[in-house]
């Protein structure tokens, strides 16, 4: 029996996944706040409790994510891209491209049939392709974050937004509001602009199907719809896309535990 854990310390949330013999037993997440190390440990203990597993039973813990260094109790680390590739192929064995969109960054990974990453591209300098973009635009539109997606699906066309930078796009959105454009069309424009950035990033890598989308933003129906249209193909999304990084890390941890046995 192999029990392992993956901890994904993202820019907004910490995610913990525990895996037993290749199957996910628990997944827990929390806002990482101002004491990320502490929160990570609490979340981990929480996950152990739910799974009814003692910390001694966990053979290996692998950490990943932008704050990987804050996970003090991890035995090893893996890059976010390596974790994405592993998780993408775990959920969908036919996956060749995994797109991960988190709060602050977007990335795409190409992987082989073993879930080993063979190429990747990161959009880390600009938030326009990432989750915080939707948050900022939601503020401008005065719409709750989870309502923007469904709202955008009501639109048949998108308002024109030219700017691809969060700051400039916000002022674009404000002037559209002043022109009294329907909110739904503005919302769609926001997702289209974001999908445009993500798709040009993926194109730099070269798209090979099947394409898997993970990360918190994969739960946003509005963005998914725009990205599908932009890429012109189906996108596979796991049930809990937010946990993909932690799942990948836990799978890597399992392999490392086995290797040590």
Applying CB under 8 A, the residues found at the interface with another protein are 66, 77-82, 114, 116-122, 124-125
Minimum separation from the CB atom of position 137 to another protein (A): 24
Minimum separation from the CB atom of position 161 to another protein (A): 23
Minimum separation from the CB atom of position 3 to another protein (A): 24
Minimum separation from the CB atom of position 245 to another protein (A): 12
Q: Which is nearer to another protein, 40 or 81 (CB)?
A: 81
Minimum separation from the CB atom of position 112 to another protein (A): 9
- Report d(CA 16, CA 81) in Å as an integer: 17
Q: Which is nearer to another protein, 77 or 159 (CB)?
A: 77
Minimum separation from the CB atom of position 66 to another protein (A): 7
Q: Which is nearer to another protein, 116 or 174 (CB)?
A: 116
Q: Which is nearer to another protein, 20 or 110 (CB)?
A: 110
Q: Do 67 and 259 touch, CB atoms closer than 8 A?
A: no
Cβ neighbours for 256, distance < 8 A, ≥ 6 positions apart:
4, 60, 62, 75, 76
Q: Which is nearer to another protein, 23 or 260 (CB)?
A: 260
Minimum separation from the CB atom of position 107 to another protein (A): 9
Q: Which is nearer to another protein, 114 or 162 (CB)?
A: 114
- Report d(CA 106, CA 110) in Å as an integer: 14
- Report d(CA 57, CA 220) in Å as an integer: 36
- Give CA separation, 141 vs 145, 174, 176, in Å: 10, 8, 10
- Give CA separation, 226 vs 187, 223, 246, 259, in Å: 11, 5, 26, 42
Cβ count within 10 A of residue 165: 15
Nearest residue to 22 (alpha-carbon basis) of 48, 2, 8, 51 = 2
Phi, psi of 82 (to 5 degrees): -60, -40
Q: Which is nearer to another protein, 153 or 201 (CB)?
A: 201
SS3 state of residue 123: strand
């Amino acid at each position: 029996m192999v029990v392992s854990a993956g901890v994904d310390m993202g820019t907004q949330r910490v995610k913990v996944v525990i895996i037993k013999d290749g199957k996910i037993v628990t997944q827990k997440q929390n806002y990482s706040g101002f004491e990320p190390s502490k929160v990570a440990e609490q979340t981990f203990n929480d996950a152990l409790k739910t799974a009814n597993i003692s910390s001694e039973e966990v053979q290996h813990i692998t950490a990943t994510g932008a704050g990987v260094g804050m996970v003090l109790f991890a035995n090893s680390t893996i890059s976010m891209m390596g974790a994405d590739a592993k998780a993408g192929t775990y959920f969908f064995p036919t996956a060749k491209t995994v797109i991960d969109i988190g709060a602050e960054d977007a990335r795409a990974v190409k992987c082989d049939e073993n879930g080993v990453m063979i190429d990747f591209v990161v959009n880390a300098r600009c938030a326009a392709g990432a989750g915080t973009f939707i948050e900022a635009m939601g503020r401008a539109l005065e719409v709750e974050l989870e309502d923007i997606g469904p709202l955008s699906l009501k639109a048949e066309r998108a308002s024109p937004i030219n700017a691809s930078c969060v700051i400039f796009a916000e002022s674009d959105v404000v002037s559209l509001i002043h022109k009294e454009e329907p909110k739904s069309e503005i919302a769609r424009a926001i997702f289209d602009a974001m999908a445009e950035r993500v798709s040009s990033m993926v194109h730099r890598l070269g798209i090979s199907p099947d394409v898997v989308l993970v990360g918190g933003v994969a739960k946003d129906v509005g963005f998914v719809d725009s990205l599908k249209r932009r890429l012109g193909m189906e996108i596979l999304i796991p049930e809990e896309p937010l946990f993909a990084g932690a799942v990948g890390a836990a799978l890597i941890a399992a392999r490392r535990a086995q290797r040590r046995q």
